[in-house]
Structure 1
């Protein structure tokens, strides 16, 4: 499954950033990227997130992204992260996870970068220390 996830997420690179979008080549945000990859791999979306504002994580205080990942993915320790895994990031320890990406290589990840597009970035220490969770895509949905 991991190879299929990596192959699919790499086809999203260059998709413009669009808040709440989830269409390859048209526009997506980080959640839309994950939902779009899931849908391409499994044929259906895991769940409908509903509308959300750009500051949704700060507004509610709930860790909604982490909770949803735990419903649909298999949680792993960060030390076990492998290409094809979902990475969730939080900007500060006291805040909920707010950013999602997919590991494309041991030291690289693909994410929808606000203000630009879907890009592949190096998993440098500044990103690593913000990891809130690592999750494997399931063998079947």
Structure 2
């Protein structure tokens, strides 16, 4: 019988070959990009359309910090809450920081009317179609419609949410 010292190097080599034997022997698999998941909404198409139409109807309403009615004025999240509640019976969160996590994230190529347009945790609006959104900009302004591709808004890198 051989001494253990003579067998150990052979055992170590055999173990290494067993471990390394699986490396690189399998056939490479082709990369298959995954399609983005389609995001569904509990809102019907009609409700989403009503949300967009209602938001458009509020263009010109004065801005008011903390405002959430047409009579008293709107801030951006107050506008969203008012429109969603009165058009679809949905009560979204009150702050933009909370809206940033509300519903499901939507890719830009899946946007539909009624989706939320969120700029970080500081500003938000309602997508109304054709690359445009309605929002209540800062003090001194009124509720208005802007293009997402306008230089100012595009550089803020918006995200999109669907309740």
Is this a same-fold pair by TM over 0.5? yes
Partner of 1:37: 83
Partner of 1:58: none
Q: Deviations over 1:1-21 (max 9, x none)?
A: 220111111121111000000
Partner of 1:70: 101
Shift of the alpha carbon at 1:47?
Answer: 4.2
- Pairs within 5 Å for 1:79-118: 79-90=109-120, 97-114=121-138, 115-118=140-143
Q: Tell me which of 32, 43, 51 is aligned to 1:5.
A: 51
Report how many residues are paired: 115
Moved more, 79-88 or 16-25: 79-88
TM-score with structure 1 setting the length? 0.70
Structure whose alpha-carbon radius of gyration is higher: 2
* RMSD (Å), alpha carbons: 2.1
Shift of the alpha carbon at 1:125?
Answer: 4.3
Unaligned runs of 5+ in 1: 50-63, 91-96
TM-score with structure 2 setting the length? 0.62
- Relative CO higher for 1 or 2, CA cutoff 8 Å, sep ≥ 6? 1
Task: Specify which structure has the higher proportion of strand.
Answer: 1
